[in-house]
Amino acid sequence: MIFSKSTIRAAFLAAFFFSCSESPINLEPLSRGEAIVDSSVAYHGGNLYENVDVSFGFRGRDYQAIRQAGSFEYINTYRDSVGTHRRRLTNDSFTQKLNNVLIALSEKDSIGRASSVNSVIYFALLPGMLKTAAANKEFLGKEEIDGSEYFKVRVTFSKEGGGEDFDDVFLYWFSTENYAMDYLAYSYLEDEGGSRFRKAYNRRSVNGMVFQDYLNLRGPAPDSLEFISEMFKSGGLDTLSVIEVDRLGVSPLK
């Protein structure tokens, strides 16, 4: 079975983290981008991303992410008019049950539903999910947004190991004070393409792991992603939705 890029990203997370004390100063753009992301991961949860059982609610559905020594199990449970659904994604399989009975899915449905489960968990566990060998992190310089200074990092994905959507592009803004990830943006080519810009809010720590909600705004065409932060600062982006997680639980694993 072939999964989406984000599924592959999660499956191939690296098993180690650089020291949060390593300074990104005086490094080449790619090395500096890597060092900045490492420092942000350390701020948001560090090694917890590799060995943890996380549960949360999102838009009325329950999610659980069990990550241990490079293996993962992602579970999405919800109820509707026909009963209780349970979707389960691991490193190498996806299944769905209805009222505890396994249901048959086409390859297209399996890929789509696996991607949906992974996408929710992927964004909830950023920036820890950026620790993958397929991710190329390039430091673009510093930028001021709303009176604060940020390191700006572009993340692209290698064709090998980057999945079918490897040509998507992501931008992240990390605080120069503490490496908190305050903003992110991305472009995509599916469904005629587009881009999104997200502003973090309601940051809180749960048992050592930092979570945050996002204001989700519609951006320009994919090839205009480099201007998206300027559009945000000038009020040129429309709000699409809010992305909020609740009922958070974090249990470190040994």
User: What ranges do the domains of the chain cover?
Assistant: 5-252
Lowest mean pLDDT among 20-24, 120-124, 129-133, 228-232: 20-24
The span from the CA of 203 to the CA of 180, in Å, is: 10
82-86, 119-123, 213-217, 221-225: lowest mean pLDDT where?
221-225
Looking at residue 13, its pLDDT comes to 31
Distance of CA 206 to the CA centre of its chain: 18
pLDDT of residue 107: 95
20 CB-contact burial (10 Å; exposed 0-12 / middle 13-18 / buried 19+) = middle
Fold of the domain built from segment(s) 5-252: outer membrane lipoprotein receptor (LolB), chain A (2.50.20)
pLDDT at 7: 36
Buried b (16+ CB within 10 A) or exposed e, 168-191: bbbbbbbbbeebbbbbbbbbbeee
pLDDT one-digit tens code per residue, 175-185: 999 999 999 99
Residue 15: pLDDT band by 50, 70, 90 thresholds?
very low
pLDDT at 222: 86
Q: Which residues contact 26 (CB under 8 A, 6 or more apart)?
A: none
Contacts of 153 (CB under 8 A, 6+ apart): 33, 36, 37, 137, 138, 139, 140, 171, 172, 173, 174
pLDDT value for 189: 83
Quote the distance between the C-alpha of residue 193 and its chain's center. 19
| DSSP classification of residue 134 | T
For residue 213, the number of C-alpha atoms closer than 13 Å in the C-beta half-sphere is 15
**Cα–Cα distance measured from residue 174 to residue 121, given in angstroms and rounded to the nearest whole number:** 20
In tens, the pLDDT along 28-80 reads 777 899 999 999 999 999 999 999 999 999 999 999 999 998 899 999 999 99
Distance from the Cα of residue 162 to its chain's centroid: 14
pLDDT > 70: percent of the chain: 86
CA–CA gap between residue 229 and residue 176 (Å, rounded): 17
The burial of 66, by beta-carbon neighbours within 10 Å (0-12 exposed, 13-18 middle, 19 or more buried), is given as middle
Q: Looking at the chain, which runs of residues are DSSP E strands? A: 51-58, 61-68, 71-80, 83-90, 94-98, 101-102, 135-145, 148-157, 169-175, 181-188, 194-206, 209-218, 238-243, 246-252
pLDDT at residue number 14: 31
pTM for this model (two decimals): 0.85
Name the pLDDT band for 149 (thresholds 50, 70, 90).
Answer: very high
